[in-house]
Amino acid sequence: MSRIRILPEILSNKIAAGEVVERPASVVKELVENSLDAGSTRIVVEVEKGGRSLIRISDNGSGMSRDDALLSIERYATSKLYSDSDLFAIDTLGFRGEALPSIASVSKLTLVTREETAESGTEIVLEGGKLLKVLETGSPCGTQVTVRHLFFNTPARQKFLKTIPTEMGHISDVISNMALGWPKIHFKLIHNGSVLQNWSAAADPAGRITDILGKDFSTGLFPIKSENDGVSLSGWMSLPRITRASSQGIFVFVNGRVVRNRMVQHALIQAYGGRLMKGQFPLAVLFIAVPCDQVDVNVHPSKQEIRFSRQQHIYDAIVAAVSAGLVHEEKPSWTPAKVHGPTTLSENLVRAENKYPYTVPASGDGAPAMGSGLKPAPASTPASLPDPPAPFRPPKPTDQPQLWEKPQTVHLNPIGQFFNSYIICESGENLILLDQHAAHERILYEKLADKSMERRIPVQRLLIPETLDLGYRQALILEKLIPDLCRYGIEIELFGKDSFVIKSVPMVLSGREIKPLVIEMVDHIMETGLTANMEKSLDACLKLMACHGAIRANQSLTLAEMATVIKDLEACRISAHCPHGRPTWIQWPKQEIERLFKRT
Ligand code: ADP
Ligand code: MG
């Protein structure tokens, strides 16, 4: 007997569901895509228990006839493709014809639908992919799909579901993304009977951006627009001073589809030239419209990945449009952007010094002496040029090379600065370069950590409290962080829906912009997940505070200021690395330098 069998349809649908229906949010995505494809102008998403017990999408789109409704739940049944050439010119969000049967195979699904011209509607009831009932029913024009008890017959999948807030977060992201891309559509999201979002049709996409991502996201954006050889680009990009540490603030839509595409991201960053710091990303809401036959959307079942047939053309178009927008924004006739952070550099360090209570180690009398011993170069004696700094290693207190060791009394003397970024020091037989930002970051990080344990972080009340408007997801996170941030000296209060006021900041951050820091903290936690490890999240917040408060690169310092940095770094528990693990200093032994000059 043959061992190979054709799988029964219900089973093959379940297998397809494995690819298409990962979690409740994927059901929401597929069903909303169907509603958009059906030309709806109003889409209501109702969810119960994070989508575990109920997901219901109601739209006012075209609806289906009884025959079409019955076909729609069959595998590979679609109204969106007729021939194989259509597959390479898809102008709808769906095309695979597998969402409805896949979802139906792992849930209890009811479909109610009516075409405008039909006198009555059709109701179809399925359970685990099996058709139970088909009825004629009264119904408004449009379609309503109700999915109950998702994964009731696939317990293995159910186990992978996360908590209700996590699943709800994913659903909310899906709706936010779609609503950003389709500003003319009214979207409503209801969870356990309460309305979470209600975005009525926006006159222009900019209004939708403010609705969804918050005012703080949308201020500081500039518009871009271009049309070139069939590719049209439009959207908003952030001024270079407004950046994020991740690409989470980049939203890209290709012909209305939310996509993740590295090439597009790369082009966006490229367009900023040297204006962005390393590791920083701009904010962007970018709409790309390309002829359907120049984009392949059939790359992955979830349809979020795409391929462009004229990659380079799109890349160049993005770089050109964004650079042109930036140049336009930077024209001197425009109101100059507010300068951020302290501008008089030495003043900043003095400020940091005065307002931040360093424990300056007393010299002599038993306390660790300032400018005490310096250990020779750790291990290696390079043959020619010195090795680049060691690659990233998470700092472990035990294996840190100590920069200063107590028994020796070789002084570490600052000589000057290199590139206004590195402090050049001489110490006995060694030439040392200190990375001033990394060193100061380490100093602030340890001080903040110590003081927050003792709940003694010196704070400064803001004369004018700053308001912060966030997106829904960010607001949820920030709300949870409020008590801990208060311990760190950042006093924040909830102020209406998704809005906050910042009332005080730690002294180390006085004179610095507080909002970008708070947004970065929230973004970071959004990426790593808050519930996973609260302590870790808070530690990341401290590191960000240290980073924002620290002396910057390109900041000139006086010799006295350099000496203070050296002194304070000496007092640190882990002086050789900044909190992110980058080295704070590198050194060249005199011997090595002499060898390079062929003196020995
Ligand atoms: P696809 O969207 O890939 O075609 P689906 O399984 O998601 O496949 O849907 C199958 C078909 O059912 C669609 O092609 C469409 O004709 C019809 N359909 C699904 N949802 C709706 C809706 N909300 N309104 C009107 N027609 C719908
Ligand atoms: Mg579909």
- 532 or 196, greater pLDDT: 196
Residue whose CA lies nearest to ligand 1 atom number 20 = 34
Q: Which of 28, 34, 68, 98 to mutate to test the pocket of ligand 1 (most atoms within 8 A of CB)?
A: 34
Question: Contact 71/126 with Cβ under 8 angstroms?
Answer: no
Question: Contact 105/151 with Cβ under 8 angstroms?
Answer: no
The fraction of the chain above a pLDDT of 90, given in percent, is 50
pLDDT above 70 for 90: yes
What pLDDT was estimated at residue 354?
A: 31
Residue whose CA lies nearest to ligand 1 atom number 16 = 79
Q: In sequence order, what are the beta bridge partners of 434?
A: 423, 585
Nearest ligand 1 atom to alpha carbon 35: 23
Instruction: State both tokens at 315.
Output: 């890349």
What pLDDT was estimated at residue 1?
A: 67
Nearest ligand 1 atom to alpha carbon 33: 2
Our answer on whether the CB atom of 87 is closer than 6 Å to any ligand 1 atom is no
Our answer on whether the CB atom of 34 is closer than 6 Å to any ligand 1 atom is yes
- 127 or 346, greater pLDDT: 127
Residue whose CA lies nearest to ligand 1 atom number 12 = 72
What pLDDT was estimated at residue 531?
A: 56
Write out pLDDT tens, residues 579-593: 887 888 888 888 889
User: With the CA atoms of 370, 376, 377 and 380 taken in that order, what torsion angle do they form, in degrees rounded to the nearest 10?
Assistant: -160
pLDDT above 90 for 231: yes
**Ligand sitting nearest the alpha carbon of 82:** 1
Buried b (16+ CB within 10 A) or exposed e, 363-374: eeeeeebbbbbb
Our answer on whether the CB atom of 38 is closer than 6 Å to any ligand 1 atom is yes
Q: Which of 78, 98, 143 to mutate to test the pocket of ligand 1 (most atoms within 8 A of CB)?
A: 78
Question: Contact 249/281 with Cβ under 8 angstroms?
Answer: yes
pTM score, two decimals?
0.67
Dist CA 56 CA 59 (whole Å): 10
Indicate the angle between helix axes 164-181 and 24-37, nearest 10 degrees. Answer: 20
- 280 — pLDDT class (breaks 50, 70, 90): confident
Span 93-109, average pLDDT: 91
Residue whose CA lies nearest to ligand 1 atom number 17 = 72
Residue list, CB under 5 A from ion ligand 2? 34, 94, 99
pLDDT above 90 for 11: no
Write out pLDDT tens, residues 158-186: 888 999 999 999 999 999 999 999 999 99
Our answer on whether the CB atom of 80 is closer than 6 Å to any ligand 1 atom is yes
Span 300-320, average pLDDT: 88
Q: Of the given ranges (45-59, 358-372, 504-518), which has the lowest mean pLDDT?
A: 358-372
What pLDDT was estimated at residue 353?
A: 31
What pLDDT was estimated at residue 395?
A: 32
Our answer on whether the CB atom of 70 is closer than 6 Å to any ligand 1 atom is no
pLDDT above 90 for 562: yes
Write out pLDDT tens, residues 444-475: 999 998 888 887 888 999 989 999 999 888 89
Per the document, the length of the chain is: 600
Instruction: State both tokens at 232.
Output: 């049209």
Span 546-554, average pLDDT: 92
Q: In sequence order, what are the beta bridge partners of 572?
A: none
Our answer on whether the CB atom of 60 is closer than 6 Å to any ligand 1 atom is no
Our answer on whether the CB atom of 79 is closer than 6 Å to any ligand 1 atom is yes
The vertex-258 CA angle with 254 and 262, nearest 5°, equals 75
Span 214-233, average pLDDT: 89
